[in-house]
Structure 1
Amino acid sequence: MGEKKLKNRWLIAMAAVGIHISIGSVYSWSVFSNPLNEKHGWSSSDIALTFSIAILFLGLAAAFMGHFVEKHGPRKSGIVSTICFGIGMIGAGFADSIGNLYLLYFFYGALGGIGLGIGYITPVSTLVKWFPDRRGLATGLAIMGFGFASLIASPVIEMLIGNIGISNTFFLLGAIYFVLMFSSSLYLAPPPRDFVPKGMTLEEKKEKENNKSTGDLAQLTANEAVKTVRFWALWIMLFINVTCGIAIIAVASPMAQDIAGMTAGAAALMVGIMGLFNGFGRLGWASISDYIGRPNVYTTFFVLQIAAFVLLPNVTNAIIFQILIFVILSCYGGGFASIPAYIGDLFGTKQLGAIHGYILTAWAAAGLVGPSVVTRIEEATNSYALTMYIFTGAFVVALVVSLLIRVNIKKIREENTQPAEATS
């Protein structure tokens, strides 16, 4: 039976954005913090723990459900994500209505987090297969939706809480996200086996995938990939990039007021603009990686951030301080968006979703480490300077890893070309 009608790959990309812009609303969690505190008397740290649990389960679900995504395809995986995230949101409304913090942890944190993890990886491996010619751009588009979501969701949540209350906000958003994610999931599908985008021939596609000097390094399963040095190099680079970025997100407002002497209002505006750089950084850096290569993009991230973190504690000028923060946020977003294409380059597309899931455990670990490190050191020293210098050291390690991974790639390319030369 022949393929009925070929789906539009740009609509597939938009369906991916539909899922990511829904689950990305998790970045707006802090908007619920004060209203929940005023209504129930729960402490800020107890309420913030909901977000940490959600990010932890995101990483765990991405790791453990990656094989499910590969086996059952993006449509079924998207629907599972929709059900978990939708019920998580609606359950959070129920938890609020009866004033039970542990139910909130279960519904929004654990169940919602599982929906986040599956939803995050579901469209990515599909997009890489639909865009063999522009891997970075395609994955950057979807993951940009995740970064931008809080820009849209935060003011909407604030307005809804004021008008209809916390519980009804959860119920309404849960229903809206359910419809948006469900309809997006139904359109998702992998491309036909011999799909070739316009302007590219089948020979060119095969050449791009199999070229020993420029194509995918190998076609590995997830369990084979985990045993390689380059898998752990990617893991370490993502872990350091996310740990330092997420820590800055967690303390951006008080740090701006403390170091650069900004007012609370100006710092709040800066936090909003950070969302733009987080979002645009995902699309911009991922697109640039299509032209200069993923290894060069990651090395650039770390060079820029070493400079930014060294300068941050000593900058009293508010404009320069904000520029440094925005550079860090663009690299933070870019790291997420470039990693799926980098995985495709190094391990092929055979089980990209499962490998991406394993790599995202770095995000779960970073979500627990980053914010707690920066807040504890600040409480102990009454300064952000020591943390910034520790992060600078971490980025030096990341830079070294980004250079060493090139040696590993070069060695494997040479090993790949030797048999080809021998046979010719």
Structure 2
Amino acid sequence: MTNTQTEKNRWLIALSAVLIHLSIGSVYAYSVYQNPLRDSLGWEISDVTMAFTVAIVFLAISAAFLGRYVEKHGPRLSGLAAAALFGLGTVGAGMAVEVGSYPMFIGTYGVLSGIGIGLGYIAPISTLVEWFPDRRGMATGLAVMGFGAGALITGPVANTIMQYAGISTAFFALGVGYTLLMVAGASYLKKPPEGWVPEGMDESEIDDATKGVTVSTDLEQLTAREALKTPRYYLVWLMLFINISAGIMLLSVASPMTQAITGANAATAASIVGVIGVFNGGGRIAWASASDYLGRTTTYGVFFAIQIAAFLLMPRITNVLLFASLLFLIITCYGGGFACLPAYLGDLFGTKELGAIHGYTLTAWGLAGVAGPMLVARIVEATGSYETSFYIVSVALVVGLLCTVLLRRRINSVKQSQGSTHTSPTTSD
């Protein structure tokens, strides 16, 4: 029996999730702080980058392992906890800048904010799935797009505040703003009543649709432990690690890198950092939708092919518009890799323990958050140029492309061994 009696509007639930993800997605605008922190406090590029790296590490750890906390305490309390952690971390970063304490900056922006980002990332997702049984991809895609688009607002706003009021004031103002937005979003989050389905849709339709997807697209139904024993899992993990490392390397130094290679001023570079959010968010929806037709393995292969060409070209491009265009293209691949991942894991391992498998795979995010930013920082300090880092990443991307070839063979091998006859576009490649 259809149950539509609820005081909550599911579209406002979706908006609440977007508010949380827009706030925590501001981490993608971190590069606008790089030069100001270096110039005002004398910290090395690698020191400034370390805070971003630590935040990404704790983001990945908390996103991967706090799922049980969210299930136990619900999306509202989890979202409020995320707001408190992220807000305190950002305001605390401002205090660290005020007193010139680097360890305090790492502990606040890196650790506290990182945990808040990870918890805020996962808090609304399962709730959205329950509110949108008829439009799950669209609903969760909106939230993930919000995370990718967080830099759109933060980049130019942070740069403006720093110009007129200083770095610490920027962290104070943004920390308070993030907290208010996240509290507003989390306060409205709530799971739907038991048995609730959208008006005009009954439970049998949902069950039939879900069964149809599972039967027709999943290569195998494996537990998380079983998935970890397959070569397929580690190929996907490595592909994700390489894709994230390439994108996050650029995100960590987008502003100073653009200024150094093209000669753009700080305001122009900050604007480019802001626009990155549009492509990060838009790429998540666009590539995830395209993967339904191209196939997930082919889509990741396209990611690597595009980035290999772009990374080889960018060090020699001084035209700021062309440079930014290639940067934006790479960032769509970065965002698309995240958006395609849950569906890809479902294709390969089924939905039996998809949440756990997804969580384990997100550890690639944390390690990539160390590898990408630190690679570029060390190279720039040693050579005074970004060029070498582009070529090193290009080699890694070639490895990623080879992984897609190996994974395709693994998929075909499994299908042949089990006598599979289905030809779903997501697993037939």
TM-score > 0.5, shorter chain as reference? yes
Question: Matched residues in 1 for 2:258 and 2:35: separation?
Answer: 21
Task: Determine the C-alpha separation between the residues in 1 that align with 2:362 and 2:387.
Answer: 29
CA distance in 1, matches of 2:245, 2:420: 40
User: Which residue does the alignment assign to 1:57?
Assistant: 58
Partners of 2:168 and 2:7 in 1: CA distance: 42
Q: CA deviation at 1:386?
A: 4.0
Whole-angstrom distance in 2 between the partners of 1:188 and 1:310: 45
The one-letter amino acid of 2:363's match is T
Amino acid at match of 2:110: G
Partner residue in 1 for 2:250: 248
CA contact (8 A) 1:69 1:122 kept: yes
Q: Distance in 2 between matches of 1:152 and 1:296?
A: 33
Structure 2, unaligned runs of 5 or more: 423-429
Preserved contact between residue 62 and residue 358 of structure 1 (Cα < 8 Å):
no
Shift of 1:243: 0.8
Q: Which runs of 5+ in 1 are unaligned?
A: none
Provide closer, same or farther for how the CA distance between residues 126 and 209 of structure 1 changes in structure 2, counting only shifts above 3 A: farther
Q: Secondary structure of the equivalent of 1:5?
A: coil
Match of 1:146 in 2: 147
Amino acid at match of 1:205: A
CA contact (8 A) 1:137 1:290 kept: no
1:147-182 residue CA offsets vs partner (Å, 9 max, x unmatched): 221221233233444566555544443333223223
Q: Tell me whether 194-203 or 45-54 shows the greater mean CA deviation.
A: 194-203
Q: In the alignment, which of 352, 363, 376 is matched to residue 361 of structure 1? A: 363
| Per-residue CA distance 1:310-340 (angstroms, 9 max, x = gap) | 3334556555443322211111121122223
- 1:277 equivalent in structure 2: 279
How far did residue 126 of structure 1 move?
Answer: 3.9
Q: Distance in 2 between matches of 1:345 and 1:130?
A: 23
**Kept after mapping to 1: 8 A contact 2:32/2:255:** no
Structure 1 residue 238: Cα displacement? 1.2
Same amino acid, percent of matched pairs: 51
Q: Does 1:332 align with 2:334?
A: yes
d(CA) in 1 for partners of 2:4, 2:244? 41
Deviates more, 1:301-310 or 1:188-197: 188-197
Greater Cα shift, 28-37 or 319-328 = 28-37
* 1:376-419 Cα shifts (integer Å, max 9, x gaps): 34555565444333322222221222233334444555666769
> Aligned partner of 2:276: which letter?
M
2:239 matched residue in structure 1: 237
Whichever residue aligns with residue 358 of structure 1, its letter is Y
**CA distance in structure 1 between the aligned counterparts of 2:289 and 2:272, rounded to whole angstroms:** 25
The superposition leaves residues 18-75 of structure 1 with CA deviations (integer Å, 9 ceiling, x where unpaired) of: 1111111222334444555566554554333222221121122222223333454433
**What residue number does 1:112 align with?**
113
Q: Alpha-carbon deviation of 1:110?
A: 0.9
The aligned counterpart of 2:307 is: 305
Q: 1:393 maps to which residue?
A: 395
- 1:125/1:349 contact within 8 Å kept: no
1:92 shift after superposition: 2.9
The 3 A distance-change label for structure 1 pair 34 and 305 is closer
Distance 1:217 1:19 in 2: 34
Instruction: Report SS of the residue matched to 2:229.
Output: coil
Change (3 A) 1:335 1:195: farther
User: C-alpha separation between the residues in 1 aligned to 2:313 and 2:34?
Assistant: 32
1:226 aligns with 2:228: yes
Alignment match of 1:210 (pick from 207, 210, 214): 214
Say which is worse superposed, 235-244 or 219-228, in terms of deviation: 219-228
Q: How many angstroms does 1:269 deviate by?
A: 4.5
CA distance in 1, matches of 2:338, 2:99: 37
The one-letter code of the counterpart of 1:187 is: Y
Matches within 5 A, 1:80-91: 80-91=81-92
Residue 396 and residue 412 in structure 1: after superposition, are their counterparts in 2 closer, same or farther (change >3 A)? same
Would the alpha carbon gap of residues 147 and 210 (structure 1) be closer, same or farther in structure 2, given more than 3 Å must change? Answer: closer
| Distance in 2, Cα, partners of 1:67 & 1:312 | 43
Is 285-294 or 334-343 further displaced after alignment?
Answer: 285-294
CA-CA distance at 1:88 after TM superposition: 1.8
The number of residue pairs the alignment matches comes to 417
AA in 2 matched with 1:118: L
Q: Calculate the TM-score normalised by the size of structure 1.
A: 0.82
Asked whether the 8 Å contact 2:58–2:366 carries over to 1, the reply is yes
| Per-residue Cα deviation, 1:86-115 (whole angstroms, up to 9, x for no partner) | 222233344344443322222221111111
Q: Would you say the 8 A contact 1:302–1:396 is kept in 2?
A: yes
TM-score, length-scaled by structure 2? 0.82
Tell me if the contact between 1:310 and 1:388 (Cα under 8 Å) persists in the aligned partners. yes
Q: Distance in 2 between matches of 1:417 and 1:8?
A: 46
- Aligned equivalents of 2:312, 2:4: Cα separation in 1: 56
| Distance across 1 between alignment mates of 2:201 and 2:404 | 33
- Point out the more displaced range, 150-159 or 164-173: 164-173
1:123-159: CA deviations, max 9, x gaps?
Answer: 3344455556655443332122122212212332334
Q: Is the 8 A contact 1:238 1:362 kept in 2?
A: yes
Do the aligned partners of 1:139 and 1:338 also contact (CA within 8 Å) in 2?
Answer: no
Structure 1 residue aligned with 2:6: 5
